[in-house]
Structure 1
Amino acid sequence: MKRLSKASLLASCSIVYAVAGGQMAQAQVFEEIVVTAQKRDQSLSDVGVSVTAFSGESLRNFGFTNSVDVAAQVPGLNIGTPVGEGNNPSFTLRGVGLNDFNDNNEAPIAIYQDGVYMAALPGLTFQLFDTERVEVLRGPQGTLYGRNATGGLIHFIAKKPTDEFEAFGQLTYGSHNELSFEGAVSGPLSDSIRGRLSVARKSYDGYVENRIGKDANEADSYALRGQLDFDLSDTGSLLLKGNYASSNTVAPQYQHEASDGVADIYGYADTDGDNFAGDYSREGVLDIESWGGSATYTDTFGNVDVTNILSYSKTEKLHKEDTDVGPNAGIEPTFASNIKVFTEELTLSGGDNDFNWTVGAYFFDSKVEGDLELAVNWFAGFAQFLDSDPTVFDGLLGAGTPSLATADPDALLPAILYDVNYEQNTQSISGYGQVEYALSDTVKLTGGLRYSSEDKDMEYLNDMPSGYLLNDAFGGILGMQSWMDFRTGGNNNATGIPDLDAGAVGDLNNIDASNLSGKIGIDFTPNDNTLFYASVSRGFKSGGFNAGFSDATDGIKTSQIPYDEEILTSYEAGVKWSSEGGKVSVNAAAFYYDYKDFQALTFQGLSQVITNSDATYKGAEIEIGARPTDGLSMQLAASFLDANVDGVSVNGEFLPDRRPVLAPKFTASGFIQYEKPVESLKGYLSGNVSFNHQGAHYFDITNSPQSREEAYTLVDARIAYRNDDDTIEVAGFVKNLFNTDYRVYTFDFGAIAGFNQQFFGKPRWFGIQLTLRN
């Protein structure tokens, strides 16, 4: 793999000094961003919580175009794509995350849009457009927010309707025929009604070449958001929002890595060394469509502020994957889901400079319907998969039938056809509250409690229809039941996993959990430029169900379908400091996590299983910003993490002391930028260079060598011109300047199929932008 040397990094940073400046990609240490991390407007520097925030202009200048891009400049935040870009992302914050890609699950890092919790994993990779700001809160969240979150939350906040007319449009053309557009129009519709319409469109050709079919990893998506803001009284308002998004592409493709450099069980090995090309027999699809709406009512009654948010959303997904990553019709799964979510949240708050309080009630209702199929096709060498000799089947098939070892693979039906159907329903009700009390001008106490009650049930059918083993080329059909008897030496019910319902398994299909969690903290502000804070908080995430492919021949038992809740207790201390005049700023925090029943994804054969184990995390983050001269700004951020999971059991073997997934010991990011007015051009020139360094990390909780990604560094650059009145901007950019090769995920199927799946991040990407504002 190509890696960036220190000399190259320093050279890239020096480029900015030769480029005249423009509008800056300001980060949180320079901007006085107003955030709502504690459910009221506060300056970021006054919040005794570890928060990273970006304004909408910063997001645009950093080139962040979707929800997963923000990780590039947030210390401690890592994002993987287990099933490809555009699909279910895996958010990890301070090492807390869950890399399960089943659509029925929820992440321990909660994602919010405009105060509404987003539960559907397929809908969490979305376009960033017409955005006001993004807030990233680290640590357990629950005493101020509706949904439980053990590891933190990310809040995406859209720009709202305005009292005066405004409009903008941004057109981008880039590598692989990228053509993107973002625009919005906003203003008054009457004396008491304002509206805003925002749109986004993104497309580019596939950058992963398919030598035998259509290229993959393309983009073809669009999104629409409409808002109406009504004045109901002098103090009351109602904001109605509707949104729609659609993505319809050729499914992203893995890269094939043959185990030990030899061909896999299908006789295929991709040996050309090109990380963006392959031979894919299945031209899969990735279609994700989501729509929804919310109604946010706010008013003030006396000294009490009232906010009520009602929301509904629906997300549909169809994903057809080429798992074997080769020219054979080998392992071919199909994932389909339909997810409906209804939420209701009522919040009351009030207070003054010395005492602030917030109480709330939250109701969450979701229904997830999943339909999964997995075809594993026969081939002449399939004995390696069965750990037996193909001629063994001669006796089962009857005298005079051909041997499996010499059979024509094209004449065979799928050997295994998993057909999984499930329905999961979740209802949760919770009450929460937090108070802040000033003991003096310099000391403030914070305390909060949360009670959650959650009921979750699953109807799960994992079936192998008979008649899919062999076709008439073998003188008749051998039913799956007989094959299962052969392989396991006993009489199994299809996969050996009975239907997961109350009649078959008692209460294994139901989780009824309640939890009391909370927070206590103290803030100390010795002067106007310094804030010290410390807190102890506890987060809770309920248990769930393994809704993927489960096969008793992999050693999976029905009792393993449900898994337990996890509880994280956080001990944290931090400081926020700025020099007189604000030329230097420092945000730093240290933490210790006591993690009970951490939820970890493992594979046993082709079966996906989440199990529980205790863990201990400790680490720190720091962000340092400086403005040494007019027009010159820079920032450096870093995170340090020592994380250990007590152990996991895989295929009956206990593996102690594992490092969690997507949890590097060290990460760093930063930027340097310069802007300069140019009188002859009647405007400003700007330039900035940013970098993101990821330390070595794993994509599998087993910490296998194949799942380890070595450290790498990415560098982006941007130059721009804007006129004096900020109505026209022209920019050029490059992402992944040094064309660094790096993996964003990998799955190791070496033990059962002889290959490793690998997803690589995007190669070097150039583009130009034109932005017009009224």
Structure 2
Amino acid sequence: MISRKTLMLSCALMALGGGAAQAQTVIEELVVTAEKREQSLQDVPVAVSAFTDERREMVGINSVQDLTNFTPGLAYSTNNDRINMRGIGRFTNNRSSEGGVAMYNDGVYTSSVTAFARSTLFIDRTEALRGPQGTLYGRNSIGGALNIISKRPTDDFYAEVRAGMGNYDTWMTEAAISGPLVGNIRGRLAGSYNSQGEGYFTNLNPNGKSEGGRGDQWQVEGQLDGELGDGKLEWWLKVDSAEWHNLGRGPGGRTTITYGLRDVTSPLQAALTPNSAALGLPLGLPGNQCQFCFDTDDGNYISLENNGYAFNATLHLDSFDVKYIAGYTYYDYRLQTDLDATSRQAPFQLPVSTQPYYPRRNNQYQEEVWWFSNEINIASTYDSPLQWLIGAYQFREGSNYTLSDARHPDDARFENPTLFSLNPATQLIPAAPNPERRYAYGSSENRSESYAVFGQADWQFTDELKFTAGLRYTYDRKRSFESARLFCLYTATCPISRVTGRPVDVTAVAAPGTSTDPAVYLPAFTDPTTGLRHRGLKYDWSGITGTLGVDWQPDPDTLAYAKYTRGYKAGGFNSGTTTLTPNVTTQEETIDAYEVGLKKTFGGTFQANASAFLYDYQDIQVPITGRDPVTDLNVTRFFNMPKARIVGFELETIWQPIDNLQILANYSYLNAELKEACCFQDPEDPRGLQPGVVLAGNTAAALASPTAGLNQDLDGAKLPSSTPHRVTFNVNYTWEFDVGELSASLTHVWKDKTYYSIFNRYYNEGKAWHQTDARLLWNDIDDRYTLIAYVKNIFEQEGVAGADGSRINTGPNTGFINRTISYVPPRTYGVELQYRF
């Protein structure tokens, strides 16, 4: 295994070698739009990682995980669809709380990361702006911004078809056609279909199917563009649609394995994979027969429907441009999961009751979301030392979000439950019907609005010195209408069900709820026809953000910059829970970011971009169990952790020492620590018994009690997904022949151990890992076709993309903490043919 010191030393030696090399080739200039103007990457005073379609093909970036490998400071977890930049991101998938990394598709804000995994047939360039973008990309860009730029219609006729196949019964086909239509109007139409027939995880149920990466996905996209008034007005329109029908492929799909001990007494506890003897019974598969195995009847079924449009129009006037950007998206994501984690379906009798128990349970998760935005930018174009850009922005999102819709599909008794009562004489009063056979339900209807005005000015003070100042005001408003219902069966909460065998509706006592939206419902209430408990939430936030910076460019090959940036992210709600928990609203997050950077090109053959940063990150939004400062009681809620300090260094290099040889090397260091983080309770270690725990904020009674949960001081704990060290190498070389050229590309990624929870314990830690990929590309002399052969994860390393713990609360193994690890895909390989007309 390559050591950290070896990798860091290699980066340093490469940097030294680049200045002395007598190279014969020059690094190609890359144009980006990081500051909403077209500029050379080396002239932009922002830490930007940019990838053209050619670079993505050469190094093999065709997933979001691949993008993180080549972007310092960027992290992504496929299982829960969460993206982080320099330790800042999101700790929940709740639709009422956004992430900290803003994502844009052709300038239109999107809350979905799926578009970033599209192939190079669709995407011309991907840009990752690291650090707060509090002026030009203000909406929730407290950690950074990602932007993809689509391939546009061409002036001349162009067509391309692609086909590929690989292991795990994988195949794909894509096609695109582009060119002039009528007058000066051009068009482009592209489509893709890909399928994976076998999963990475084996289902031991003979009637079940494998999962992990399995499923079918298709997408189609159409574009039109043109101009009016001899080019004074340029316009562009894109309409796209995509669908997924997957079994464990994509966010929420099967990527995890659980290690540890079984819960042998809890009747409702799912079994440890792959020991499918759940429900406390000593039945099922003996032993850990297969690491990447499971045994279920209900799979992780994923479906997605995504439709949208984007529209840009630019009016070129004598001294400035006016650009209008608009977009709309409809996004419907559904996930079914097997909650009992077994393939058992036949009813049986539990020791606590003479009534039957039906083991089959599943959950229906859904995000049905629609959003639209409008933006106007006015940018100077005249020849002057002072250049400026001003704009206004509007965004609105609505969503139907169902976090929990857990059901007993085989148990008809849940259709006619009884009401909870402390009086035995009234314990058999019928509750509202429950035709879906739910036992837990939590959903919310949400609306989010955001409005902003912003401006930025650049003053070229001298030929070498430039000053930048920017300011943005943002106002956010949110509302949420929640619904919840909860049942119990055979538990201590409802002992009457052990006799009658009828589920008990405990919603009134388990989910009392408190409304914060008096215009809707105050107080919370129960609908007698559905049994659903409802309440309304409402809040608004605002923030002033901006940037101050100075650039020094002593020569065309050198840029040094220093800047201060203020970032802001609106608060949110922990809505959609089954218990309508109190204290669900958070305040806004803010950040004061200081960064210095240096971009240098040596002789046109070696390029090094370095940045160092210090963040003061305040009021971090985290859902957790902790002490309520008002009631002095432990509650689970959305907390604002007071402060974190983030320090980091990033280096990106390109070296072309000789013709046709290119060496890429990236290194990132990140130290993201919580400060003033007290007092919180670890649900997996409620008594704070793990090594290194610092107890704080506990009453004398809690300390004296052998069972009370105890709070911890998390000062110094690492933020989740903040990998301390990461290194990426790529070496590619091209051989030229009379009939074409052959390129070979080899990539190696090393990632340091990483915590995935603010509780930095062994059960939340992912081990360090490395991965090696290889590609061969053949292009004919006329560039009519390309043949690609690839292998990813050659040595089948078990790369970790997430880790968390699960405490056993009953039986002889009480207190033991199982570990659930999310893995990147195993070894994959295949071939692809691209043909251009």
Q: Please report the TM-score for the alignment, with normalisation by the length of structure 2.
A: 0.79
The alignment of Structure 1 onto Structure 2 pairs a total of residues equal to 702
1:459 paired residue number: 481
Who is 1:673 aligned against? 732
Q: 1:219 aligns with which of 203, 211, 215?
A: 215
Matching of residue 504 in structure 1 with residue 504 in structure 2: no
Aligned to 1:179: 171
Residue equivalent to 1:385 = none
User: Structure 1: where are the runs of 5+ without partners?
Assistant: 14-28, 84-88, 379-392, 402-412, 485-491
2:81 is the alignment partner of 1:92: no
The alpha carbon displacement at 1:750 in A equals 2.1
- Aligned to 1:704, which of 743, 754, 761? 761
Please list, as runs of the form range in 1=range in 2, the aligned pairs for 1:442-521 lying within 5 A after superposition: 442-464=464-486, 474-475=499-500, 477=502, 479-481=504-506, 493-498=509-514, 501-502=517-518, 503-504=521-522, 509-521=537-549
Counterpart for residue 714 of structure 2 = 656
Question: Equivalent of 1:424, from 446, 455, 461?
Answer: 446
Whether the 8 Å CA contact 2:370–2:397 is kept in 1: the answer is: yes
AA of the residue aligned to 1:299:
L
Partner of residue 65, structure 1: 62
8 Å CA contact retained: 2:571, 2:588: yes
Aligned runs of 1:12-161 on 2, under 5 Å?
A: 30-83=27-80, 89-120=81-112, 129-145=121-137, 147-161=139-153
Match among 161, 164, 167 for residue 169 of structure 1 = 161
1:686 aligns with 2:743: yes
**One-letter identity of the residue aligned with 1:480:** D
Q: CA deviation at 1:369?
A: 1.1
- 1:704-761 deviations in whole A, cap 9, x for unaligned? 3111001111111001211111111112110001100122223422245874433221
Cα 1:216–1:76 change in 2 (3 A) is: same
Closer/same/farther in 2, CA of residues 529 and 344 from structure 1, 3 Å limit:
same
Following superposition, the deviation at residue 327 of structure 1 comes to 4.1
User: What aligned pairs does 1:482-561 form with structure 2 within 5 A after superposition?
Assistant: 493-498=509-514, 501-502=517-518, 503-504=521-522, 509-551=537-579, 557-559=581-583, 561=584
The answer as to 2:457 corresponding to 1:435 is yes
* 3-state SS in 1 of match to 2:133: coil
* Residue 209 (structure 1) aligned with residue 210 (structure 2): no
Conserved in 2, the CA contact under 8 Å of 1:130 and 1:183? no
Aligned pairs for 1:738-753 within 5 A: 738-752=795-809
1:639 to 653, 665, 668: 668
Q: What are the equivalent positions in structure 2 for 1:383-398 lying under 5 Å apart?
A: none
Q: Give the equivalent residue in structure 2 for 1:722.
A: 779
Note the 1:183-194 alignment, pairs <5 A: 183-194=175-186
How many angstroms does 1:336 deviate by?
1.1
| Cα distance change of structure 1 residues 296 and 471 upon mapping to structure 2, 3 Å threshold | farther
- In 2, are the aligned partners of 1:550 and 1:608 still within 8 Å (CA)? no
Q: Does 1:236 align with 2:233?
A: yes
Secondary structure of the equivalent of 1:545?
Answer: coil
**CA–CA distance in structure 1, aligned partners of residues 301 and 512 of structure 2:** 31
Kept in 2, the 8 Å contact 1:602–1:701? The answer is no
Aligned counterpart, 2:814: none
- Shift of the 499–288 alpha-carbon distance from structure 1 to 2, 3 Å rule, reads farther
Aligned-pair CA distance for 1:539: 0.8
Using the TM superposition, name which of 426-435 and 503-512 deviates more.
Answer: 503-512
Distance across 2 between alignment mates of 1:264 and 1:440: 75
Equivalent pair of 2:482/2:536 in contact (CA under 8 Å): no
- On the 8 A contact 1:174/1:767 being kept in 2, the answer is yes
Distance 1:434 1:207 in 2: 49
Unaligned 5+ segments in structure 2 are 11-25, 275-286, 345-358, 410-419, 429-434, 525-534, 627-634, 684-709, 811-816
Q: Distance in 2 between matches of 1:374 and 1:258?
A: 27
Provide the rounded CA distance (Å) in 2 between the counterparts of 1:214 and 1:166.
41
Q: How does 1:258-657 map to 2 (within 5 A)?
A: 258-260=259-261, 265=266, 266=269, 268-269=271-272, 270=274, 271-272=287-288, 274-323=290-339, 325-327=341-343, 329=359, 332-351=362-381, 352=383, 354-375=385-406, 417-464=439-486, 474-475=499-500, 477=502, 479-481=504-506, 493-498=509-514, 501-502=517-518, 503-504=521-522, 509-551=537-579, 557-559=581-583, 561-580=584-603, 582-602=604-624, 609-613=637-641, 614-646=643-675, 647=677, 649-650=680-681, 653-657=711-715
Deviations 1:224-265 (A, max 9, x none): 111000222222122111011111111322544253477684
Measured after TM superposition, the shift of residue 267 of structure 1 is 7.7
Answer 1 or 2: which has greater helix percent.
1
Q: Distance in 2 between matches of 1:643 and 1:625?
A: 27
Alpha-carbon distance in structure 1 between the residues aligned to 2:138 and 2:592:
19
Please state whether the residue corresponding to 1:176 is helix, strand or coil: coil
Deviation digits for residues 277-314 of structure 1 (CA, Å, limit 9, x no counterpart): 21123223111111011221111122110110121111
Aligned position for 2:529: none
How far is 1:476 from its partner? 5.3
Q: Deviation of residue 577 (structure 1)?
A: 0.4
| Cα distance in 2 between the residues matched to 1:743 and 1:280 | 24
Superposition deviation, residue 567 in structure 1: 0.3
Q: Which amino acid aligns with 1:497?
A: G
- Alpha-carbon separation, structure 2, partners of 1:225 and 1:333: 33
Rounded to whole Å, the distance in 2 between the matches of 1:72 and 1:701 is 23
Q: Which residue of 2 aligns with 1:770?
A: 833
**Distance in 2 between residues matched to 1:467 and 1:478, nearest whole Å:** 5
Change (3 A) 1:267 1:258: farther
Report percent identity of matched pairs. Answer: 28
Are the structure 2 counterparts of residues 230 and 44 from structure 1 closer, same or farther at C-alpha, using a change threshold of 3 Å?
Answer: same
Secondary structure in structure 2 of the residue aligned to 1:207: coil
AA in 2 matched with 1:661: P
1:603/1:711 Cα in 2 relative to 1: closer, same or farther (>3 Å)? farther
Q: CA deviation at 1:526?
A: 1.2
2:701 is matched with: none
C-alpha displacement at 1:367, in angstroms?
0.5
Report if the CA contact (8 A) 1:216-1:250 is conserved: yes
1:409 paired residue number: none
Shift of 1:629: 1.2
Cα distance 1:324–1:64, how it changes in 2: closer, same or farther (>3 A)?
Answer: farther
SS of 1:96's equivalent? coil
Distance 2:730 2:261 in 1: 40
- Structure 1 residue 70, shift from structure 2 partner: 1.0
Structure 1 length normalisation: TM-score?
0.85
Pick one of 820, 829, 832 that aligns with 1:757. Answer: 820
Q: CA deviation at 1:474?
A: 2.9
Q: CA deviation at 1:771?
A: 1.0
Cα gap change, 1:264/1:80 in structure 2, threshold over 3 Å: closer, same or farther? Answer: farther
Contact 2:487 2:503 (8 Å CA) reproduced: no
Instruction: Give the 3 Å change call, closer, same or farther, for CA 717–601 of structure 1 in structure 2.
Output: farther
2:654–2:665 CA contact under 8 A, matched in 1? yes
The DSSP-based 3-state class of the residue aligned with 1:57 is helix
Name the CA shift for 1:122/1:440 in 2 (closer, same or farther; >3 Å): closer
- Cα distance in 1, alignment partners of residues 306 and 517 from structure 2: 29
